[in-house]
Amino acid sequence: MLSLALRWTAVSALLFIAATASAALDLKTTVHTVVEWSATGTRPRSDPWGELEVDAIVRNAAGREWRVPAFWSGGSTWRFRFSSATPGEFRFETVCSDATDSGLHGQRGTITVTAAAAEKNPLLRHGPLRLSDDRRHFAHADGTPFFWLADSWWFGMTSRLRFPGEFRTLLDDRVAKGFSVIQFAIAFPCDIAPFDPRGANEAGHAWTAGFGSINPAYFDLADQRVRTIVDAGLVPNIVGAWGYYLPRMGVEKMKRHWRYLVARYGAWPVVWTVAGESTLVYYDFKAGSPEQAAARTAQVQGWSEVAKQLRATDPFHRLVTVHPGPNSGMMRPLTDMSQLDFVFLQPGHSDWETLPVALEHLARARREFPDRPSLMGEVCFEGMHGGGSGPKIQRFLFWSTVLSGAPGFSYGTDTTWQFNRRDEPFGASPHGMAWGNIPWEEGYRWAGSTHVGLGRKILTDIEWWRLEPHREWITPNATPADLMKPYCAGIPGRLRVVFLPKGQARWVQPFTMRGLEQGVRYTARYVDPITGRSEKPIPVERDANGEWRLTYPPILQDWVLIMEAK
């Protein structure tokens, strides 16, 4: 007997189709939409997830094969999820590690994938993320450029952010402001001991006590949250666990944990972050001790093994990165960096002191890993350290790093990484101090989130994905000795974008744009990065030396200057 469950919403990423173990199935779906099959084992087991592995071997007409892991969903039920970027007919057959279980082994069916109707949701219209052909930025499956603007909700899968009301309020705000990614820890978030109640959701923890077994009920609720992000058109960046959980769980169990995550979410348009702060060992080591250094080395090696297993397990080849830890300048958050598709940086949270560190880390990453994108994964969360890292440095970090070659930016606040609540502040981290107690209901409205969102919106009007750093085009320009001077990037003969951190005072000699191409006529306009409003266009008068002295903007503040060839 077949049963068809209702689609969650009009643009939902999931279509549930369930069947009895012996039924031959013909499942139907559209491109980029997830289809799910389920079956029930025929043998009673005390620990189904610990005793079995179940996969679906999916093949298309051309013979291409996907080995899709199935996940245990409680009782004797197992499920696998599949999606395709192309139409066609796909045949599947299930493989169970216990071939005598006829309910799970040898089940056959077909999945018919057809073209979709016009979709407003960009993830259904353009598909999940990949690297662009030039490997400098992100793109959807169909090649449409994708600008990464993430908000960091490390505890977003826990009951500290209540679902659906509070979750929807925050998500709607981020959609309206222009964010494109929500990044969160699933199962094991940061700055708590394992099995601290703050890491649980309404169904408890992701694993049973002592890391005995997976808890499907936790993930059933996490599914609702992840699905809501996808339905809003934003990409979930899933952090599998914080780094210091690895020695407590062990490498082999962490590999199984990641297999479960791939089975649950791999068919969705997600991005994988192997670990949060892979270099951060737990807080009970003496700082600077040989024991701490040895533990860090072992942890980084272990996470590299997990990353390799993740890539081997994921049949959909979602993008993979790692959140590096407090000193991303070491540039080796894994021993095998070839496992990463892009490089995340975490230079610190020390307000303006972090600015030179962030730019130096980005420059170094671009030198060491020129074959992949590098960008801020966590930096200067707004409100961190007693109200620091306000909107000005959020704008500064956004524009200076993007014009220095980053294909996006990751934002966060001190209130929404931990979800302080008015009635329940997060409290102390394992080191004994609280980071801050301002409730998230206030923090999510802070101006920095608006300003970085405006940054993305400003860039979407131009070919941002073709920008290359060209500080030499403007003089004076930012240097390590003076980071408050202008930053410039562009496309030769077509486009120039300049960030003026201090604007341009009328009592100071104007900045000079250099190297203007002969025969190319530019029009310039100042854009206010605080409001997003553009000033009237300005004609660019190139002199005999190929230079143009910038006109003065109307207000003494930071500005973005956009020059476009006519």
**pTM value?**
0.95
User: Is the per-residue pLDDT at 18 higher than 50?
Assistant: no
Domain ranges within the chain, ordered by starting residue: 2-117, 123-463, 468-565
For the segment 222-246, the average pLDDT, to the nearest whole number, is 98
For 79, the enclosing helix (H) or strand (E) is strand 77-82
pLDDT confidence band for 24 (50 / 70 / 90): low
Return the CATH architecture of domain 2-117: Sandwich (2.60)
Of 262 and 1, more confident: 262
pLDDT confidence band for 10 (50 / 70 / 90): very low
Per-residue pLDDT tens over the stretch 35-55: 999 989 999 899 999 999 999
Buried b (16+ CB within 10 A) or exposed e, 451-460: bbbbbbebbe
User: Is the per-residue pLDDT at 3 higher than 90?
Assistant: no
- Burial of 355 per CB tally in 10 Å (0-12, 13-18, 19+): buried
User: Is the per-residue pLDDT at 531 higher than 70?
Assistant: yes
What per-residue confidence (pLDDT) applies to 320? 98
User: Is the per-residue pLDDT at 7 higher than 50?
Assistant: no
Question: Residue 135 region, left (φ>0) first, then alpha (ψ -120 to 50), else beta?
Answer: left
User: Is the per-residue pLDDT at 427 higher than 50?
Assistant: yes
pLDDT > 70: what percent of the chain? 95
pLDDT confidence band for 512 (50 / 70 / 90): very high
Per-residue pLDDT tens over the stretch 278-321: 999 999 999 899 999 999 999 999 999 999 999 999 999 999 99
For the segment 373-381, the average pLDDT, to the nearest whole number, is 98
pLDDT confidence band for 209 (50 / 70 / 90): very high
Tell me the CATH number for domain 123-463. 3.20.20.80
State the average pLDDT for the chain: 93
User: Is the per-residue pLDDT at 137 higher than 60?
Assistant: yes
User: Is the per-residue pLDDT at 1 higher than 70?
Assistant: no
What per-residue confidence (pLDDT) applies to 327? 76
For 421, the enclosing helix (H) or strand (E) is none
What per-residue confidence (pLDDT) applies to 203? 98
**Of 151, 231, 239, 225, residue with least CA distance to 190:** 239
What CA–CA distance (Å, rounded) separates 435 from 413? 11
Exposure on the CB side of residue 313, measured as CA atoms within 13 A: 28
Topology adopted by domain 468-565: Immunoglobulin-like (2.60.40)
- Could you check whether 2-117 and 468-565 share the same CATH topology? yes
What CA–CA distance (Å, rounded) separates 285 from 296? 10
Q: Where are the alpha helices (DSSP H) in 406-559?
A: 440-443, 447-459
For the segment 19-38, the average pLDDT, to the nearest whole number, is 76
User: Is the per-residue pLDDT at 22 higher than 70?
Assistant: no
User: In the beta sheet, which residues pair with residue 526?
Assistant: 561
Exposure on the CB side of residue 11, measured as CA atoms within 13 A: 15
Per-residue pLDDT tens over the stretch 532-566: 999 999 999 999 999 999 999 999 999 999 999 98
Per-residue pLDDT tens over the stretch 149-191: 999 999 999 999 999 999 999 999 999 999 999 999 999 999 9
What per-residue confidence (pLDDT) applies to 34? 95
Per-residue pLDDT tens over the stretch 321-347: 999 988 777 768 999 999 999 999 999
Per-residue pLDDT tens over the stretch 382-394: 999 889 999 999 9
What CA–CA distance (Å, rounded) separates 128 from 144? 10
User: Is the per-residue pLDDT at 219 higher than 60?
Assistant: yes
What per-residue confidence (pLDDT) applies to 6? 27
Direct distance between the N- and C-terminal alpha carbons of the chain, in angstroms, rounded to an integer: 65
